[in-house]
Amino acid sequence: MANIKVVTDNRKARYNYEFLETYEAGIQLTGPEVKSIKSGHISINEAFATVKDEGIWLLNAHVSPYKPASKNNDEPTRSRKLLLNQKEVDHLLGKVQTEGLTLVPTKVYLSHGLVKIEIALARGKKVHDKREIIKKRDIDREMSRELKNK
């Protein structure tokens, strides 16, 4: 775990979804996209993963164009294939189709110089679940203030 550098984290997904399982996947990228991601110019807040053509694809992830490679840059929000084992793809395909779960990207990081993405098999939270989390957070904050003041 010492050679891992987190590039971006999808904090909004933790609020909106309950994560059941997480998977590490590679991303099929072009050279300028790799340079851009390594410099931290990627956003996965609006991104999601879907199953099509017997593979898993990342949609709506925004990779900013890399300025020195202006001629070779691709569209910033193009679909990118996620690289997983076929057994993992089949498992995720079954879960998504039968149980109605969603594939959500949670973070992008560098592992030994390679760009990796963590995707989670997730279930959407209901409104009352979100309210309970906010209420619990407020209570914990009040308790820590009281302990700090005493």
Residue 149 maps to a domain: no
> Under DSSP, is residue 70 helix (H, G, I), strand (E, B) or coil?
coil
Residue 70 maps to a domain: yes
pTM of the model: 0.78
pLDDT, tens digit, for every residue of 71-107? Answer: 766 777 888 899 999 898 888 888 888 887 889 999 9
| Torsion sign over Cα 7, 71, 27, 2 | negative
At which residue do the structure tokens 């879907």 appear? 50
Which CATH number belongs to the domain containing residue 86 in this structure?
Answer: 2.40.280.10
Residue 138 maps to a domain: no
pLDDT, tens digit, for every residue of 9-31? Answer: 888 888 888 889 999 999 998 88
Count of domains for the chain: 1
* Angular region, 5: left φ>0, alpha ψ -120 to 50, beta rest: beta
Question: Long-range contacts for 129-137 (Cβ within 8 Å, ≥24 apart)?
Answer: 129/18, 130/15, 130/16, 133/15
Whole-number pLDDT of residue 109 = 93
Domain assignment of residue 34, given as a range: 4-125
